[in-house]
Amino acid sequence: MRFFFPDSQDQVDPNFDFDTEEHNPFRVRQRDDLYAHEVLTGAPFDGLLVSKAIVDGQAGSSAGKYTVAQRHRLYREGARQFFRLDHGHTPLKIMGDCGAFSYVSEVRPPYTVDEVIDFYAGCGFDYGISVDHVIFQYDPAASTEKARDEGWAERQRITLELAERFLDRCETRRARFIPYGVAQGWSPASYAEAVSKLQDLGYRHIALGGMVPLKSRDILACLAVIKQVLRDDMEVHLLGISRCDDVPKFAEGGVTSFDSTSPFRQAFKDDRDNYYTPSRTYVALRVPQVDGNAKLKARIRSGEISQGTAMSLEREALEQLRQYDQDRTDVDSVVRALARYSEVWDGKSDRNGQYRETLTDRPWRNCSCDLCRRHGIEIAIFRGSERNKRRGFHNLYVFEQQLRARQEGRTLRDRDLRV
């Protein structure tokens, strides 16, 4: 089972100073900042997935997340050089898709087949996914009439029509990347029907789309029916799915690869599951920057609290955390400092019990990943992108280790990641 990490230009500055919160003044982001596969010994994934919508945006409606300079550099250098796929410890593959979630409200996908092929070929991708149209709804009991009335059948028809044209144009243009056809559906039977048609068209690689909102039992129900029509030589990719515990069952259902940002995004998007370990997750220790927290800035502007007081509490919380990591203070002192600052910037959430667990267990001391070994407690502090992204990279490291353990039929334990 291969794991692809969707790119959104997530890098860290290896020379960032955590004490002064400063970057090197001569830093050039694209040249100096590093991807996860460069900062970790052993890439935490098998490849990257890059969406056209992220890079190019949609003509006339929205811009992508890449700057003009980044986009031009990607096309000029090609994906392997741009992402430095061969500069890490493990050579990586790269897959491209259209980013169908970005245009889900459109009547038809905004890209032509040839525009998408131009993107894949121009960037030098190893795999390219056909143009698709997401079906969000899932209703195993839906009648043909309902599927037609709700527009689900039309979206499936469009997706299959574009997949046929995509494969034809890839052959005509002698594309060097391996084409994936997308199957969209609203039930196990409709997914199986789409897979069967894609196989008849000549596809040997299929991506299953629209399953992100589904529960694992629904995905497995779809895979069970798909397996009945799936040929032995097929490769199947799950778009946007990363449920590690279900990987063995997904593999039994014919899945050979998947992609997801969940382990990374949980580092700074989740309310509590911010730091991964093999046995559990921990909440990160929140110390937001005074000038970077909207709530706190509003209270300062209103005169409710002075900026000087806020900055003093912020510095005290950071100092206590660092003292604790050097065994020069105790848990109670750190929790009190975090609580005092939390009253100023938050005032509602009480995470003292969760903080106490994180501090008492000190999970970063039991992790062998390069980032935890280098940065210590800094990686557990919820504060700015340099720390948060590093914690996300750590989560990818643990997730990859869990994935390999599941595939080998063993349980990953905390001591397996110890230095």
Summarize pLDDT for 297-313 with one digit per residue, the tens.
988 999 999 999 999 99
Statement: residue 94 has pLDDT above 60: yes
State how far the Cα of 340 lies from the Cα of 173, in Å rounded to an integer: 64
pLDDT class for 233, splitting at 50, 70, 90?
A: very high
- Options 10, 33, 126, 259, the catalytic residue: 259
Q: What pLDDT is stored for residue 411 in this prediction?
A: 80
State how far the Cα of 385 lies from the Cα of 371, in Å rounded to an integer: 14
Q: How far is CA 27 from the centre of its chain?
A: 26
Of the two residues 27 and 62, the one the predictor is more confident about is: 27
Q: Give the CA count within 13 Å in the CB-facing half-sphere of 47.
A: 18
Summarize pLDDT for 167-194 with one digit per residue, the tens.
999 999 999 999 999 999 999 999 999 9
Summarize pLDDT for 114-159 with one digit per residue, the tens.
999 999 999 999 999 999 999 989 999 999 999 999 999 999 999 9
Q: What pLDDT is stored for residue 247 in this prediction?
A: 87
State how far the Cα of 419 lies from the Cα of 403, in Å rounded to an integer: 20
Q: Is 86 a catalytic residue?
A: no
**Domain boundaries for CATH 3.20.20.105 within the chain:** 2-260
Q: What pLDDT is stored for residue 29 in this prediction?
A: 86
- Options 10, 97, 132, 325, the catalytic residue: 97
Sign, Cα dihedral of 326, 330, 333, 336: positive
State how far the Cα of 210 lies from the Cα of 240, in Å rounded to an integer: 8
pLDDT class for 42, splitting at 50, 70, 90?
A: confident
Q: For 239-248, what is the mean pLDDT?
A: 87
Q: What pLDDT is stored for residue 407 in this prediction?
A: 84
Q: Is 97 a catalytic residue?
A: yes
Question: What dotted CATH number matches 2-260?
Answer: 3.20.20.105
Statement: residue 36 has pLDDT above 80: yes
Q: What pLDDT is stored for residue 57 in this prediction?
A: 84
User: Residue 40 in contact with residue 371, Cβ under 8 Å?
Assistant: yes
Q: What pLDDT is stored for residue 59 in this prediction?
A: 53
User: What beta strand segments (E) does 91-227 contain?
Assistant: 93-97, 127-129, 178-183, 205-208
Summarize pLDDT for 400-419 with one digit per residue, the tens.
999 988 888 888 887 777 65
Summarize pLDDT for 348-374 with one digit per residue, the tens.
889 999 999 999 999 999 999 999 999
Beta bridge partners of 411: none
Share of the chain above pLDDT 90, in %: 84
Q: What pLDDT is stored for residue 245 in this prediction?
A: 83
State how far the Cα of 199 lies from the Cα of 194, in Å rounded to an integer: 9
Which of left, alpha, beta for 390 (phi over 0: left; psi -120 to 50: alpha)?
Answer: alpha
